[in-house]
Amino acid sequence: MVSILFIHQSAELYGSDKTLLLLIKNLDKSKFKIVVVLPNKGPLKIELEHLGIKVVLAPVLKLYRDIFKLKNVFYFLKEIRTSVKILDSLNKEYSFNLIYSNTLAVLLGAIYARKRKIKHLWHVHEIIEHPKLIASIFPKLLNNLADIIICNSKATLENLVKRENNISNKSKVIHNGLEYLVSVSNKSKGQLIFHEDDIIITLIGRISRLKGHKWLLNTYKNRLLDFKNVKLLFVGSPVLGQEHYLIDLEEFIKNNNLSDNVLILPFTKDLETIWSATDIAIMPSTEAESFGLVALEAMLHKKPVIASNLGGLKEIVVHNSSGFLVDVNSEIDLQKAITSLVESEDLRIKMGNTGFDRAKSHFSLKSYVEKFEKTFEELV
């Protein structure tokens, strides 16, 4: 049996949290013994413990912008000592064959694997362009501190290779996969304060400057108000300490008299109600998404997807087939895509069905898990 220590940088249930949960849930437990380290309590910890997985809280040594300031360096070194002590205790009990670091934000796995000479897999979910120093350092760290690098898209791998060419020798792409579940929600749009004949455009994701809420709102305000039955639904919460992004959105909506047209709901793991009410899914990201799990979720719910023509989204959404890819910050492009779908229910249904077929054939959970199981076994 292969004993694996999984280390992750949050306990939420957004993209990389959700893919980790799905992987652990579906790994063959007769072949793999699993322990998970998280930095704090949260919905991911609850879900893992419901599966009977051992979860331990410890500093995961996140890399952040100000880490190289003197006072932060001392604090970081103190966290290393604390975490190594916790992991040594776990290793004594479980004799880990492999350490799996989920996302670039986690440094604990790399440090501990090197210190105790344990195989190390680094699963990369990010495309980092800024700050430039971090963007240049990370590919070198990966190349030196990982035995194998798994990227969640070709775009993610290409971003690493352009800074560290020989990193491709120890890297491969495993696209995220999701399971298809027949929706059992019979909730109506009216339960979300909309009318049944409204056309709902839904943006699911963290409230942040990168997700394109403002781009969508400006396009809606400037170009789409003639569609009286088109409404916007935002589902997500800001990162702790970045609540000003939510406040900014709320003020924009109020100041532009859009309160009857735009609904913001906090993040919920029960998205079936949301998908049931949705007519068009949108991911207007203003910087490259490494993958775009929400787009895949939308396709599995037979929703047409409008997405930025960036990063991993280009590997999921097929332009003019399962949805539309639009140029970043182009109100004209976004207006055209939205108008095409708003004006034609037949097109919404056709693109939704096409996307559904693509999601099932190209991004299955079964394939995702099998590729990781094979990788784990080959590595140890």
Give the pLDDT confidence score for residue 16 in this predicted structure. 93
Q: What is the mean pLDDT of residues 282-300?
A: 96
Contact residues for 254 (Cβ-Cβ < 8 A; gap 6+): none
* Spatial contact of 250 and 161, defined as CB atoms under 8 Å apart: no
**Quick check: 98 pLDDT over 90?**
yes
| Confidence at 192, pLDDT banded by 50, 70, 90 | confident
Question: By three-state DSSP, how is residue 22 classified?
Answer: helix
Half-sphere exposure of 375 (CA within 13 A, CB side): 27
Taking each helix axis as running N to C, give the angle between helix 331-342 and helix 345-362, from 0 to 180 degrees, rounded to the nearest 10.
100
Taking each helix axis as running N to C, give the angle between helix 244-255 and helix 213-223, from 0 to 180 degrees, rounded to the nearest 10.
0
Per cent of the chain over pLDDT 70 is: 94
| Structural domains of the chain in order of their starting residue, each with its CATH number | 2-177+364-379 (3.40.50.2000), 189-362 (3.40.50.2000)
**Quick check: 231 pLDDT over 80?**
yes
Amino acid at 330: S
Q: What is the mean pLDDT of residues 137-155?
A: 94
| E strand segments, the chain | 2-8, 32-38, 54-57, 98-102, 119-124, 148-151, 171-173, 199-204, 230-235, 262-265, 280-283, 305-308, 323-326
What is the rounded CA–CA span in Å between residue 7 and residue 109?
Answer: 7
- Side by side, the strands of the sheet bearing 119-124 are 54-57, 32-38, 2-8, 98-102, 119-124, 148-151, 171-173
Per cent of the chain over pLDDT 90 is: 82
**Quick check: 52 pLDDT over 80?**
yes
| Confidence at 138, pLDDT banded by 50, 70, 90 | confident
What is the rounded CA–CA span in Å between residue 273 and residue 283?
Answer: 19
Half-sphere exposure of 91 (CA within 13 A, CB side): 17
**Quick check: 61 pLDDT over 90?**
no
What is the rounded CA–CA span in Å between residue 14 and residue 28?
Answer: 24
CA 324 and chain centroid, separation: 20
* Spatial contact of 151 and 291, defined as CB atoms under 8 Å apart: no
What is the rounded CA–CA span in Å between residue 130 and residue 124?
Answer: 16
* Spatial contact of 155 and 314, defined as CB atoms under 8 Å apart: yes
**Quick check: 185 pLDDT over 60?**
no
Q: Find residue 5's DSSP bridge partners.
A: 35, 99
DSSP codes, 332-378: HHHHHHHHHHHS-HHHHHHHHHHHHHHHHHHSBHHHHHHHHHHHHHH
* Pick from 128, 83, 85, 81: nearest CA to 105: 128
What is the rounded CA–CA span in Å between residue 58 and residue 37?
Answer: 6
What is the rounded CA–CA span in Å between residue 212 and residue 232?
Answer: 13
What tokens appear for 165 in the block? 């060419």
328-340 tens-digit pLDDT: 999 999 999 999 9
**Quick check: 133 pLDDT over 80?**
no
* Spatial contact of 199 and 229, defined as CB atoms under 8 Å apart: yes
> First-to-last CA distance in the chain?
11
Residue with tokens 């975490």: 83
| Confidence at 66, pLDDT banded by 50, 70, 90 | low
Task: Write down the mean pLDDT value for the chain.
Answer: 93
